[in-house]
Structure 1
Amino acid sequence: MKHYLTIPIIFLLLATLSCKDDKNEQVKQDDKIKEMNNEQFFKLSLAQWSLNENIRFQGMDPFDFARIADSLEFEGLEYVSQLYKPFYEKNGIDALVKKLAEESKKYNQNNILIMVDNEGDLADPDEAKRDEAVELHKKWVDAAAALGCHSIRVNTFGTNDPDIWHNAVVDGLKKLSTYAATKNVNVLCENHGWLSSDPDKLMKALNEVNMENCGTLPDFGNWCIKRKDGENWGECEEEYTDKYKGIELLMPKAKAVSAKSYAFDENGNETTLDYVRILQIVKDAGYRGYIGVEFEGGLPEEEGIVSTKNLLISANQKLK
């Protein structure tokens, strides 16, 4: 009897082991799929505005930007034009470009974009002033091309009357984007105040511009449509209410993304923005470029930068 029972028992043991192997293999495959789904879908760049307080008020050299970004383990740089104004007014744009190129190469940083401010209003109702703003922006298109940046970010101030703004901004953006296309540079509109922070109106304007190199730079924050006394900056009187819907609306034309942050709780989460929800929107839109860290809170700037970077990395692990 022993002899005849041995064979079925062996088959049973083999079958059991086979089932365990199959289950282990399935667990490995499931873990691998989960790991693939949670691979970081973006690279990290540093927005120079995160250091603006130190640069403007504490004497930090703006040319230390590449060194600091490298020390904080970023891969790319997002410059802010106004932070170099004393240098380029004295030495010229070409000298600025040369020095920035040297610093970015020294610290193995990729030049991503230039955020351009204070060069006139691209949505000014007066066509002559609008055209002047286009001309003033062209030097930054040239600088971006020379540095290897893919884009400049522009503002669309000029009027907060929706009907007047639409026609003016379409004209200004189309003229600037036509020039930028000859340099292989994108012109990006951020939700950066006034009607640019109303994504329905901004996307309507960009769809009418209808140029491949004219797109968006969705910012997680910056949803103020109207400020007190009609100022560009300051106390906000009216906000676009659904920031998550706003980001979703802006993503189809996104060529860069800005991770704004202000404050963090004890778990490292941003207190006003659901980073997991936002990153899921960004990922689902098919975006696979750089996300720029732009801290604007009350912490020491480098601490806020690192907290934002860490939050992006941890939030990515929770995505579907």
Structure 2
Amino acid sequence: MSQGTPAATDGWQPSERARARAAYRRTQHRRALLVAGVATALVVAAVVSVVTTAPGWERAREAFFSPERAWEVLPEVAAGLWLNLRVWVVASVVALVVGMLLAVVRTSRVPALFPLRIFAVGYVDVFRGVPLLLVLLLVGFGLPALRLPWLPVSAAFLGGLSIVVCYTAYLAEIFRAGIESVHPSQVAAARSLGLSRGQAVRRVVLPQAVRNVTAPVASMLVSLQKDSGLISILGAVDAIRAAQIATTGDYNFTPYVVAGLLFLAISIPLTRLVDAWSARQGWRGELRGVAGAGVVR
């Protein structure tokens, strides 16, 4: 390469049209930010005005937004939230594993697994169609009635079991969609290389399937974290139950607001991480598709 080439490259300047387009984009971006900011400020001001001018605002503020009461009940509600987090982690791991197994069984074409496929279909249909609250009541009050000596009957265990039973059905369908999104030619190519069908599923299909459904699975786990608060109806002293106990006697509902804020402090960052991951996966997927097709969009 001649010595004059780098100098020519270093001296490159965008054309007048390119500079005009860049300036136009910056102007449009600033204008969009200004409009969004003004619209948001107007909406917030309208909501605040309506709420604070309501006839019962002072009474509602004392009953729901008392800083002193919030600080007083924060340790008890936070201790209850720790139970919710433990139930969430354990239930998530179990539901992921069992859901994956159900998806593999349901998509299998091995004749000997036909009874298990029928069970997987029935399981998914039943527990996707029954409300979680109803499952909590049936499991929470039905299993202890059997008096099985080996079955724990604590409210936290039975509540977590109910959540696992329901969310396993949803996760199984998500994983099944991911498995079926992998083209059959992937299995054929793996078999041509000498892999058995089981090895092809384990080493070729499942990694791609999990990668394809990472975002919806993560969204489902965020929802599971929120629904872990439903174990309070069985008597487990979680964040919601602790807030309920704290409201007894004085009818100040600030503890419920504290519990809600603690749940939001966990769910909102998780949701933003899922959104960022989804956007990143979508961008990378588009690049992989472009590279594989050998075209430029």
Structures share a fold, TM > 0.5? Answer: no
CA radius of gyration, larger in: 2
Report the TM-score range of the alignment, normalised by the length of the smaller protein.
under 0.3
